Structure 1
Amino acid sequence: MAKIPSEFISLSETCPNIIIQSDYSTVKNFTGEIVRGYKKTAAYMAKAPAKALGEVQKVALSRGYNLKIFDGYRPVKAVEFFQEWAKRPETNPEIKAHYYPTFSRLDLFEQGFIAKQSSHSRGAAVDLTLVDLKTGKELDMGSHFDFFDERSNTDSKSITEEQKKNRMLLKELMEGKGFKNFSQEWWHYSFKPEPHPDQAFNFDVE
């Protein structure tokens, strides 16, 4: 069992049967590398938001959906890794085309898609989507996780009505339990008020 600060808890404990897809613990992410600080597929949050997310899951399950988590707590060392990556030359056009086709690496920070100081590191933020219990498939949100483009803006005009409806369903579920959406990314939610607004953490996800 991983040693984590007493202020944190695994989402597997507060959200039974939740789906965790930790792309940052693999090379299948926008950097093309295993992200520093991610040792395995796991997700943690500070206790208050983790428990609130458990309440979101209960409501979602009652309506025929499960939650899929892409990222919860994010170590400071991972945020630093992203900043180092952004300063390196572009080396993989396929990855760029898949994740950030219209921006440079540094643009991702300047445009606000990646934060230099992240609420993820304070244990208050989560990146997630909804999965249909009947089909086992993610709802069509109009873009994939970490697709850095206008189409990922929650209120994007470049998506279909069905995709907008799915985004609004996720937003309704999350905001009903104290989370606030980051308007540039349909998948990103932060719990308010943050339990540790002035403290960033740096333990590994393991």
Structure 2
Amino acid sequence: MTRLTSVARSLVTTVAALVAWTAVSPAAGAAPGAPKEFVALRAVDPTIIQEMRYPHEHNFMGEPVDGYDQPLCILTRPAAQALHRAQTKLLRQGYSLKVYDCYRPQRAVDHFVRWAKDLDDEKMKAEFYPLVNKSRLFADGYIAEKSGHSRGSTMDLTLVRLPAVPTRPYRPGQRLVPCYAPQAQRFPDNSIDMGTGFDCFDTLAHTDDPRITGVQRTNRDLLRDALTAVGFVNLPEEWWHFTYQPETFPDRYFDFPVAWRSVAGHR
């Protein structure tokens, strides 16, 4: 009887420990959620247009990117709130912001790296990097093993004149046109003319490239001025790339998936 009681007591203790571990541990295989400092941009400002490129095939790889489970912009809350302030002013001028990419999980960056090392895969070269040898993507700084996007306060965006006309969907296999071609020739985008398309691996995409003049220069300056006024800093090599400062997570790189479930309940 004593032995049975001892065994029962041991079993109860083991079960209790297992229950306690389960209560504080994620389920096996469960994807990690975002810290509470992250929020879906739509919850802060639903008027900002979202044309997320990496969950779909129209990007420099020509395939959906790992980690983008849904076409959703996720940002740290201060960055999203700053975008809202910029949007409020731009709406009064007849424009809207449009985001192409926001928080980017590390697994997506890893996917970029694997693609860049596969020198045989150049199906999107004619549009996104027609003048760049793919073997130079790392050396020239177009691809890196870490991205500021993974810290949550960086986004890629442009401006759309209102009322916005929907962008025609990309059709896989369609004829590709260089991203630096005249706006009427390159892939149709409802944004104003910035001189190149988004993710154009070319020096013409440098924000202050002297070849960008006239309306294109005015448009780039309009975007940059609107964002720097609320705390963003532009990456000089990409007219579309901005980081809100000070960053909420200046030294952390996250890997939770881009999905509503990652920010469920965050307001």
* Partner Cα separation in structure 2 for residue 132 and residue 21 of structure 1: 15
Residue 135 of structure 1 and its aligned partner are, at CA, apart by: 5.3
Residue 142 of structure 1 and its aligned partner are, at CA, apart by: 0.4
Which of 3, 12, 25 is equivalent to 2:55? 25
Q: In structure 2, what residue type is equivalent to 1:72?
A: C
How high is the TM-score relative to the length of structure 1? 0.94
Q: Is the 8 A contact 1:113 1:184 kept in 2?
A: no
Aligned residues with identical type, % of pairs = 41
2:149 aligned residue:
120
Q: Deviations over 1:44-81 (max 9, x none)?
A: 01111111111111111111100110000000000111
2:60 aligned with 1:66, yes or no?
A: no
2:249 aligned with 1:196, yes or no?
A: yes
2:211 aligned residue:
158
Which of 134, 139, 142 is equivalent to 2:192? 139
Q: Is the 8 A contact 1:14 1:53 kept in 2?
A: no
Trace 1:82-97 onto structure 2 (pairs within 5 A): 82-93=112-123, 95-97=124-126
Residue 22 of structure 1 and its aligned partner are, at CA, apart by: 1.1
2:46 aligned residue:
16
Consecutive unaligned residues of structure 1, counting only runs of 5 or more, are: none
Q: Deviations over 1:109-143 (max 9, x none)?
A: 22122332211000010100000014543110000
Which of 153, 172, 183 is equivalent to 2:236? 183
1:168 aligned residue:
221
Which of 44, 50, 63 is equivalent to 2:80? 50
2:131 aligned residue:
102
How high is the TM-score relative to the length of structure 2? 0.73
1:36 aligned residue:
66
Q: Secondary structure at the match of 1:198?
A: coil
2:36 aligned with 1:6, yes or no?
A: yes
- Runs of 4 or more consecutive aligned structure 1 residues displaced over 6 Å after TM superposition: none
Deviates more, 1:196-205 or 1:14-23: 14-23
Rg larger in structure: 2
Q: Is the 8 A contact 1:60 1:66 kept in 2?
A: yes
Q: Is the 8 A contact 1:125 1:191 kept in 2?
A: yes
**Cα RMSD (Å):** 1.5
